[in-house]
Amino acid sequence: MNLPNTLSLLRILLAPVFLYLFLSDSAVMVAASFVVFTIAALTDWYDGWYARKYGFKTRWGQFLDPLADKILTSAAFIGFYLMKQKDPSFLGEVEFIPVIVLICIIIFRDLVLTFARSIQELRGREFRTSMVSKTKTFIQMSFIFLVIGIMALAAISSPSSISISLINYLHSDINYYILLLITLLTAASGISYIFESNASENETKV
């Protein structure tokens, strides 16, 4: 197994480690969860760079790399939901649509469509990532890093006025609206994928 695929497997293994640390009541472990998530995210960047530079693009890698990414981000969203179960004001108290529904939509789309797309690529069909999907991914990762980073900083700076301010932000409604935006973009990118897939099939038939 080459290095990029090994890093993808490492990313999958780090996902439950991150989740365990993130949900801990220990300030040190919560801070460590941010470090673990950051390391896992960096392996995504590095294995992609390494594969392109040294030509280690394999069919197995095409399947494993995006799946590992989605497992990692899904672990983060599951962590957010479980935190909200412990503290209903986490990520805000506004819930036009329950947070569990939003997170289920995100995880379902990301895992199922990533799996389906990877299978198609294994069959030799390539798809370009849409602008909606790129925007979704950017906002999604920025939001995850922001929440985890603030939680880690609040944990290690407690008790202090800084910690209180950070915790107040984590309980503000803006987080719910960001999550709602991510869900809408996720759904839109899923619809975009369906049209993209149908167009590709039509081209193949022609």
171 found inside a domain: yes
What's the rounded Cα separation, in Å, for the pair 136 and 40? 19
The tens digit of pLDDT for each residue in 140-182 reads: 999 999 999 999 999 888 778 888 899 999 999 999 999 999 9
Q: How distant, in Å, are the alpha carbons of 113, 137, 185, 197 from that of 176?
A: 24, 17, 14, 31
37 found inside a domain: no
pLDDT of residue 122: 64
| Domain ranges, residue 68 | 63-205
Q: How many domains does the chain have?
A: 1
Q: What percentage of the chain exceeds 70 in pLDDT?
A: 79
Which stretches of the chain are DSSP H helices? Answer: 3-22, 27-54, 59-86, 99-122, 131-157, 161-170, 174-205
The whole-angstrom distance between residue 48's C-alpha and the CA centroid of its chain comes to 17
pLDDT of residue 13: 94
**Half-sphere exposure (CA, 13 Å, Cβ side) for 68?**
26
- State which H helix or E strand residue 126 sits in: none
22 found inside a domain: no
33 found inside a domain: no
Q: Whose structure tokens read 């209903």?
A: 88
pLDDT of residue 113: 80
16 found inside a domain: no
46 found inside a domain: no
The tens digit of pLDDT for each residue in 68-107 reads: 888 999 999 999 999 999 999 999 999 889 999 999 999 9
What's the rounded Cα separation, in Å, for the pair 49 and 45? 6
**Which amino acid is present at 167?**
I
54 found inside a domain: no
Q: How distant, in Å, are the alpha carbons of 75, 126, 180 from that of 104?
A: 12, 27, 12
Give this prediction's pTM.
0.87
2 found inside a domain: no
